[in-house]
A and B are shown apart, each in its own frame.
Chain A
Amino acid sequence: MTKSFGTRAGYSRRHALQLMAAGGTVGLLGPQLLGKPAFAQTPPPAPTGRVVVGLSQEPTVFNPLMPHLEVDDGVDFSIFDALFRINPEGVIIPNLAVEVPSQDNGGISEDGLQWRIKVRDDVRWHDGTPFTAEDVKYTLELIVNPDFRAWRTTGHALVHDITVVSPTEITWRMEVAFAPYLSFLTETFIVPKHVLETMADLNENAFNQAPIGTGAFKWGKRVAGDHVELVANLDYFGEGPYIEQLIFKYIPDNTVLYTQFRSGDIDLVGQAYITPDNYAEAATLADRVVTLVPKASVETIYLNMERPQFKELAVREAIYLAIDREAIIDALNYGVPTVTETFMPKQSFYFNPELPKHEFNLQRAAQVLDEAGWLPGADGIRAKDGVRLAFANSTTAGAHLREQAQQFIQQTLAEIGIEMTIANLPSAVMFGDFWALSQFDTAMSGITYLIGADPDVTNRFHTKAIAAQGGRGSNNAQYSNPEVDALLEEGSRTFDPETRRAIYFKVQEIVRRDLPFLPLFANTSVFGHKAGLQGFVSNSNTRTESWHAAGWYWA
């Protein structure tokens, strides 16, 4: 969903007004299911033309069940289908399944343990073989096969007794009721049993280099280090595709990525999108549509709660009060991102808008520290019981905007007697053990809290998810609150969205009060594509701009 519709760039005002008349406000703010374009134009009868998507990282993993990054998702979403998809409004809709199971329609039993899913009977793999429930069973079993180098196994490990009732129906039993699994399945692409069964090696094989799926596009070829080429699947069961060729072009430098968007070499800027410093200029380019799209990630300063400085709430509150977020957003990030008080993306159904608003107030910050007994020592730095209010802040070295924000925060904190030193690391080092085992004092990064847009954040905030204390998740701030633990457990067992909403509102409230992390802003991407490209719809509930290339076409 776009914060500002594409009237900023190549579109004329008249055109925009026409669109509003044609699609209505709803069409503008939230394009319909599966991105049916709100534009008046109609797609061509047969696929024509080519779309080149520029990406700043190279897609290299084409087996969607193996560990991969955001950048690989565009290829996965185009070649494969999952049982369900999640649309831009955050609603889970059928993909290979006929309907989304719920307790209401009997697809999920009252206790949440028995799942029954009906799948389509009109789907064929790219090699012509019919798709059946056997493929679903094979996929779910492959993920937990110990010999297979699977990506995420959370949720999948709970699935037992998978039974293929008929080619169009499958059932299974969950070890415990686990509501987020439905969302996880929107990112679990189904792979062909008949192809993978014949592979001698599950991890290194021909399928991984030339995948066969059911999606709107078929594998074309890969020119290593340069691009991946997909071609239209004329037998696709769903809407589209309307373009003949879909290209994912690797452009390793963000400046060059933008330059090639300007020069017209690429039709659409994919990840890492247009950098904020180029936003103002990009918005003036002719024949280009440039929009701001909220991301699921929140720019965050994690406070390591096991460090003696941060154990006291007053300290965390004071630091938050002493951060001039507006200046960071407007002056350093060109006004592109937006303020937030929570980990929940704003576009989520579960976003709590009623949280206390942050205030930048150095006086108040100093006062909070004074009252809590953190008083300036001989060196001007506050201390209490022998603990100095000094800490290091780490972020990815070379991330210019973050480095500027750090220096800015460092200066303001110094004014109230807090010493922040900067200790940055290359990303390959930062996000290894240093991050996973909470070896930092404080860390700044863009954090995605949700998995597959489900509101469950057990992995980030539950006590048992603290890896540094032997836990199994990524609660890197080492945050522990029994009340939150209980709420999270309840939330993951609850299927009804309204009931869950109340639970996660409460979680957000407590986390906002406890401040295990300081939210700087909600990340926003600057998307850009040629004005002639129709049917493009962004979806913040997925990790890729190319989640629905099937709907794209040229005017």
Chain B
Amino acid sequence: MPAFLLSRFLQSAVLLVIVSIIGFTVLNLMPGGPLAQYGLDPGMTMDDMERLKDQLGLNRPIWVQYFDWAWRLVQGDWGTSFRDGTPVLSVIGRHLFATLLLMGSSTVIAIAVGTWIGIRGATHRYSLFDYVATIGAMVALSIPTFWFGLVGIYVFSLKLGWLPAGNMYTIGDGSVLNYLHHLIMPSVVLALVHIAIWSRYMRTATLDVISQEFVKTARAKGVTERRVLMKHVVGNALLPMITLAGVQLPSILTGALVTETVFTWPGMGRLFLDSLGYSDYPVVMGLLMFSAILTIAGNLIADIVVALVDPRIRLA
């Protein structure tokens, strides 16, 4: 196990360096740059632009800028946002809660509902429920999230007036109930796609297990159907789900671009989009590294958890 961890750790470090080089280069090669947002400002002269480029260090060769950035990062300094002048880590930190809240609740909904639909679809294969679930999943997967979002806002906010049209909370009201009220629509809309994905995976995984010899053995021994299902089938079917959850871990923290925009949710997805739009290099790079680290960590955690719960797998 320690040898495995060490080698994975080294691989990850190399991967991070490669990701950072590619990210930094692509970002800097993109024409425009952080000062393009002032391109239409009639009062900003070329002298002003040149001066700001110098002051921000943007006139240095790319590789100098990269090493400067990387060296600071190694020392724990993630840089400062061009846009609002605050440290990158604090920028990320200030958007993390909103994303955790939204993605966390939608993931819980997705896993709970998706798992249930998947298992029921597998045990009641080709039933009406299975057909409805299959078609529903196809619909949820093919229709873009923003459409569900806008329809939801139209129906539940503008027409029925049951749910807020967006935002994380009402300004001036920070109560838990107020947050929950605002959370319902975006988390459900976001969960739809994930329910679809989870239910399809879960259905397939359950079907795989159901046809295995040991399930037949258990049934032959006279174990109750419920016990067979819960102990023998679901337990084993969940194994591939752990890997899936590991892969999805980063998205819980990096946010949902479209949903956050439609529901005016101040999370990481929108931060990324905005930072990219303003060419806020330090924040974009920070987010890139953040999500790269999470992706690597998510996969690693999934591997370890699978190894721990499945005695057949032993990490060399």
Chain A residues proximal to chain B, CB less than 8 Å: 50, 52, 58, 60-61, 63, 66-67, 69, 146, 149-154, 184, 187, 203-204, 208-209, 223-227, 229, 245, 247, 249-253, 255-256, 259-260, 262-263, 265, 426-436, 445-452, 459-460, 467, 471-474
| Interface of chain B residues 226 through 283 with chain A (CB within 8 A) | 261-264, 266-267, 270-271, 273-274, 277-279
The answer to whether A259 and B153 have CB atoms under 8 Å apart is yes
The answer to whether A472 and B46 have CB atoms under 8 Å apart is yes
| Interface of chain B residues 10 through 53 with chain A (CB within 8 A) | 30-33, 35-49, 51-52
Q: Which of A223, A449, A467 has the most CB of B within 10 A?
A: A223
The answer to whether B43 and A58 have CB atoms under 8 Å apart is no
- Docked complex Cα distance between A69 and B35 (Å): 11
The answer to whether B165 and A263 have CB atoms under 8 Å apart is yes
The answer to whether B84 and A429 have CB atoms under 8 Å apart is no
Given A256-B166, A263-B157, A152–B172 Cβ distance below 8 Å? no
Distance to closest chain A CB from B211 (angstroms): 48
- Docked complex Cα distance between A301 and B233 (Å): 67
The answer to whether B277 and A226 have CB atoms under 8 Å apart is no
Contact with A along B194-221 (1 / 0, CB 8 A): 0000000000000000000000000000
Given A61-B84, A252-B264, A460-B42, A260–B165 Cβ distance below 8 Å? yes
**With A69-B38, A251-B166 given, can you name 9 additional A-B contacts, CB distance below 8 Å?**
A67-B52, A152-B44, A203-B55, A224-B84, A225-B274, A250-B264, A259-B157, A427-B36, A432-B31
A selection of 17 A-B contacts at a CB cut-off of 8 Å is: A61-B84, A66-B85, A67-B38, A69-B38, A149-B52, A150-B48, A152-B43, A224-B266, A225-B94, A225-B270, A249-B167, A262-B158, A428-B278, A429-B31, A445-B40, A447-B40, A447-B42
- Docked complex Cα distance between A471 and B46 (Å): 8
The answer to whether A436 and B84 have CB atoms under 8 Å apart is no
Q: Which of B84, B95, B172 has the most CB of A within 10 A?
A: B84
Q: What count of chain B residues pass the 8 Å CB interface test?
A: 56
Distance to closest chain A CB from B316 (angstroms): 44
Q: Find the B residue at minimum CB distance from A433.
A: B31
Given A50-B171, A204-B85, A209-B85, A428–B42 Cβ distance below 8 Å? no
Distance to closest chain B CB from A535 (angstroms): 21
Tell me which residues across on chain A come within 8 A of B41, comparing CB atoms: 152, 448
Tell me which residues across on chain A come within 8 A of B91, comparing CB atoms: 224
The answer to whether A256 and B264 have CB atoms under 8 Å apart is yes
- Docked complex Cα distance between A280 and B200 (Å): 45
Tell me which residues across on chain B come within 8 A of A146, comparing CB atoms: 51
The answer to whether A253 and B262 have CB atoms under 8 Å apart is yes
The answer to whether B39 and A435 have CB atoms under 8 Å apart is yes
Q: Find the B residue at minimum CB distance from A259.
A: B165
Tell me which residues across on chain A come within 8 A of B40, comparing CB atoms: 431, 435, 445-448
The answer to whether A256 and B95 have CB atoms under 8 Å apart is no
- Docked complex Cα distance between A187 and B41 (Å): 13
Select which of A149, A152, A226, A432 is within 8 A of B39 by beta carbon: A432
Check if B109 is an interface residue, CB within 8 A of chain A: no
| Interface of chain B residues 68 through 102 with chain A (CB within 8 A) | 80, 83-86, 91, 94-95, 98
Q: Find the A residue at minimum CB distance from B84.
A: A60
Q: Find the A residue at minimum CB distance from B32.
A: A432
Check if B313 is an interface residue, CB within 8 A of chain A: no
Given A60-B83, A204-B80, A260-B166, A428–B32 Cβ distance below 8 Å? yes
Check if B56 is an interface residue, CB within 8 A of chain A: yes
- Docked complex Cα distance between A428 and B258 (Å): 20
Check if B186 is an interface residue, CB within 8 A of chain A: no
The answer to whether A225 and B56 have CB atoms under 8 Å apart is no
Q: Which of B36, B47, B56, B91 has the most CB of A within 10 A?
A: B36
Q: Find the B residue at minimum CB distance from A58.
A: B274
Given A253-B262, A256-B262, A226–B33 Cβ distance below 8 Å? no
- Docked complex Cα distance between A265 and B44 (Å): 36
The answer to whether A451 and B42 have CB atoms under 8 Å apart is yes
Tell me which residues across on chain B come within 8 A of A474, comparing CB atoms: 39, 42, 44-46
The answer to whether B55 and A149 have CB atoms under 8 Å apart is yes
- Docked complex Cα distance between A234 and B35 (Å): 38
Select which of B31, B48, B94, B168 is within 8 A of A153 by beta carbon: B48
Tell me which residues across on chain A come within 8 A of B37, comparing CB atoms: 69, 427-428, 431
Distance to closest chain A CB from B226 (angstroms): 47
Given A259-B153, A427-B36, A251–B264 Cβ distance below 8 Å? yes
Distance to closest chain A CB from B294 (angstroms): 19
Check if B298 is an interface residue, CB within 8 A of chain A: no
Tell me which residues across on chain B come within 8 A of A153, comparing CB atoms: 45, 47-48, 51
Given A226-B168, A428-B279, A431-B32, A154–B43 Cβ distance below 8 Å? yes
- Docked complex Cα distance between A252 and B259 (Å): 11
The answer to whether B171 and A229 have CB atoms under 8 Å apart is yes
Tell me which residues across on chain A come within 8 A of B35, comparing CB atoms: 67, 432
Q: Find the A residue at minimum CB distance from B95.
A: A225
Distance to closest chain A CB from B264 (angstroms): 5
Q: Which of A66, A433, A460 has the most CB of B within 10 A?
A: A433
The answer to whether A449 and B42 have CB atoms under 8 Å apart is yes
Tell me which residues across on chain B come within 8 A of A151, comparing CB atoms: 43-44, 48
- Docked complex Cα distance between A426 and B167 (Å): 27
Tell me which residues across on chain B come within 8 A of A431, comparing CB atoms: 32, 36-40
Given A204-B85, A259-B165, A260-B166, A224–B274 Cβ distance below 8 Å? no
- Docked complex Cα distance between A213 and B230 (Å): 65
Distance to closest chain B CB from A385 (angstroms): 32
